[in-house]
């Protein structure tokens, strides 16, 4: 299991019917998320994502954004969150620098999909993860999940790349910080320990 999905497995075992996410009027339990994530991951694989590839995400906070942090590593890929305050040229820089092959995009940034596909050589597909209708030529995650069979988890962990996280780039181009699964797991454990000390 990856550093992120371990928590998902544990939550499903211990509190499957507990509400895990609330977004607008939509609520999902841990069991519902557990059913969606392997299909989300399978959809990424069907779109050409292979083990070790990077998947960028340009979206505002939502339940699907949360699910992407589970589905991308489940598919054996690495997540690349892009700064929502960047200009389009900076977004393109992040995609190109990380060599992301696929971009997850929501309503707030859907209009940029066509331009990003044209200006980012490595980018092969965009997938819409928003609430409204996707822009022309962009696949809708809802349709992909409904059609995709659940896949077995690609068990990446340890020093395997979890994601690339970019600095703000205030003095030059943004710098991509590569974090492994161990980095992410150690950080999460540290946060939990500090929380217990404070309580």
How sure is the predictor about 196, in pLDDT bands with cuts at 50, 70 and 90?
low
H-type alpha helices, 75-125: 88-98, 113-119
Least confident piece of the model among 48-57, 143-152, 185-194: 185-194
Judged against a pLDDT cut of 80, whether residue 52 lies above it is answered with yes
What is the domain count for the chain?
1
The CATH code of the domain that includes 139 is: 3.40.50.12780
Instruction: Provide the mean pLDDT of the chain.
Output: 91
Domain extent at residue 46: 5-198
Q: Closest Cα to residue 38, out of 160, 116, 150?
A: 150
pLDDT score of 65: 98
């Amino acid at each position: 299991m990856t550093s992120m999905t371990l928590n998902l497995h544990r939550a499903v075992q211990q509190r499957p019917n507990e509400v895990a996410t609330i977004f607008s009027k939509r609520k999902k339990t841990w069991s519902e998320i557990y059913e969606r994530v392997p299909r989300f991951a399978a959809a990424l694989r069907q779109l050409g994502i292979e083990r070790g590839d990077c998947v960028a995400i340009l979206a505002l906070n939502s339940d699907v954004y949360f699910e992407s942090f589970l589905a991308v590593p489940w598919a054996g890929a690495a997540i690349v969150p892009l700064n929502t305050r960047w200009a389009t040229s900076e977004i393109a820089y992040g995609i190109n620098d990380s060599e992301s092959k696929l971009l997850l995009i929501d309503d707030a940034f859907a209009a940029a999909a066509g331009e990003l596909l044209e200006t980012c050589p490595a980018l092969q597909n965009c997938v819409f993860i928003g609430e409204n209708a996707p822009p022309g030529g962009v696949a809708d995650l809802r349709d992909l999940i409904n059609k995709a069979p659940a896949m077995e988890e690609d068990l990446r962990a340890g020093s395997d790349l979890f994601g690339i996280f970019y600095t703000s780039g205030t003095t030059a181009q943004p710098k991509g910080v590569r974090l492994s699964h161990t980095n992410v797991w150690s950080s999460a454990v540290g946060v939990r320990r500090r929380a217990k000390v404070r309580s």
